[in-house]
Structure 1
Amino acid sequence: MSTPEPLLRCRSIEAGYGASQVLFGIELNIQPGEVVSLLGRNGMGKSTTIKTIVGALAPTGGEVYFEGQSLRGMRPDAIARLGLAIVPEGRHVFPNLTVREHLLAFADNRNGLRDTWDLARIYAVFPRLKERENNLGNQLSGGEQQMLAIGRALSTNPRLLILDEATEGLAPVIREEIWRCLATLKAAGQTILVVDKYVHRLVGLANRHVILERGRVVWQGDSDALNADRSLWSRYLTV
């Protein structure tokens, strides 16, 4: 039986900033419905990989494909319209828009999905956003802003949802709420690429994991394999 075409395929990606090369031949495949984590210490190339995928940084080598289509030379807004949505590090909510306005301003279903992420469904996953729907972005806590950033991305009905530092800077109780929400998204069949430092939680969430070290993929495998080999954690993931 042939392997199905990945939703996202990064083939031998190289990228960097000016004369400084950061990525060296990154290989990354994500199948529809998968949750994949991108792991590594700070400065190892995780955010640069994401920037390259979403078109914020042009690769200097290799190719990124989405549903078999090359993304070479495409602007970030054109890539987003294909069905990619990112929850960026730092959230970047608009201070002068209400929660409801955030979720309606970006709502779309360009890809014709049947089970759409409409306002009611987003509020069902994030009840706190419903409670705060008339509050402005700058009136929300950090955890509420992260929920809003995820909800805003979902409102575009993406084929692939990317989260950069999913729970960075959040209180433990709020982190747990975000993890529960991500588990709900996985159960709904949402394809996700997630960056986060809490490996013990990602082992329970993601199907597969990719570890970066100095801009190179040094390990890939499923959660059972990552959980069984704790030497990987100390070698590549702990400070």
Structure 2
Amino acid sequence: MSDSSPRALLAARGLEAGYGASQVLFGIDLDILPGTVTTLLGRNGMGKSTTIKTLIGALALRAGDIQFGGQPTRGMAPDAIARLGVAIVPEGRQCFPNLSVREHLVAFADNRNGLRDHWTLERLWTLFPRLRERAGHMGNQLSGGEQQMLAIARALSTNPRLLILDEATEGLAPVIREEIWRCLRQLKEAGQTILVVDKYIDRLLALADHHVVLERGRVVWRGDSAALDGDRTVWRDYLGV
């Protein structure tokens, strides 16, 4: 991967992957620089979630390579990649129904990367005051919005170097979406490196540094927010906007 950016926290080259006889990704290249917010954009079924699965080790690569922090991760188990400092807020939230909010945030807490300004339980309560109010509630007793807050807080409790959000605000009420956008702005201001998938392009323009657009498992466009805002043919042809 000598052509990867020397500054990239995560560098992926030539990713090919799929399910059974069906190939979904065809040579995906992706660089995520430290302290930046990067988006994966595209219509449904274009390979965004599949790309994320390859990055976290949940789906084996058929070709290509991934480095995280300069370390090759191809073939590593998801838990080993997580220990390097990758955390995901998965589509569907996947909160545990038999764990309380507090237990979610304590059970996964770790600062294995030795971050100086790391996430503590008190700091997570400050980020999401509603979770403090629901500390004793079980995962299945929370609303969809509260579950999303919990999924983000759970990921942050591991103090990741890279935070990945798949469908960050999918299915949430507008007031809850605003809460999630507020959270992501705060995380960016704090220097958290983020990869995010979401359909609200206008909000992502204000948040993200770099955008990567997928179409049928291939990168068809990449650039910063100013370039994406100024090229509405990309919106029309690839984003369905």
Report the secondary structure of 1:38's partner residue.
strand
- Could you say which residue in structure 2 is the equivalent of 1:14? 16
Consecutive aligned runs of 4 or more in structure 1 exceeding 3 Å deviation: none
Candidates 180, 204, 207, aligned match of 1:205: 207
**1:65-214 residue pairs with structure 2 within 5 A?**
65-214=67-216
Residue identity opposite 1:57 in structure 2: L
Q: How big is the shift at 1:229?
A: 1.1
Residue identity opposite 2:194 in structure 1: I
- Could you say which residue in structure 2 is the equivalent of 1:224? 226
RMSD (Å), alpha carbons: 0.8
Identity fraction in percent: 74
TM-score normalized with structure 2 length? 0.97
Report the secondary structure of 1:133's partner residue.
coil
Candidates 47, 50, 53, aligned match of 2:52: 50
CA offset digits 1:77-128 (Å, max 9, x no partner) = 0000000000000000011111111000000011010010111111111111
| Length, aligned pairs only | 237
**CA distance in 1: counterparts of 2:173 and 2:240, whole angstroms:** 20
CA offset digits 1:17-61 (Å, max 9, x no partner) = 111110000000001101000000000000000000000001100
Candidates 225, 234, 237, aligned match of 1:235: 237
Q: Is the 8 A contact 1:5 1:67 kept in 2?
A: no
Q: How big is the shift at 1:5?
A: 2.6
- Could you say which residue in structure 2 is the equivalent of 1:41? 43
Unaligned runs of 5+ in 1: none
Greater shift in the superposed pair: 181-190 or 4-13:
4-13
Residue identity opposite 1:146 in structure 2: Q
Unaligned runs of 5+ in 2: none
**CA distance in 2: counterparts of 1:125 and 1:236, whole angstroms:** 34
**CA distance in 2: counterparts of 1:235 and 1:124, whole angstroms:** 41
Q: Is the 8 A contact 1:36 1:210 kept in 2?
A: yes
**CA distance in 2: counterparts of 1:35 and 1:45, whole angstroms:** 19
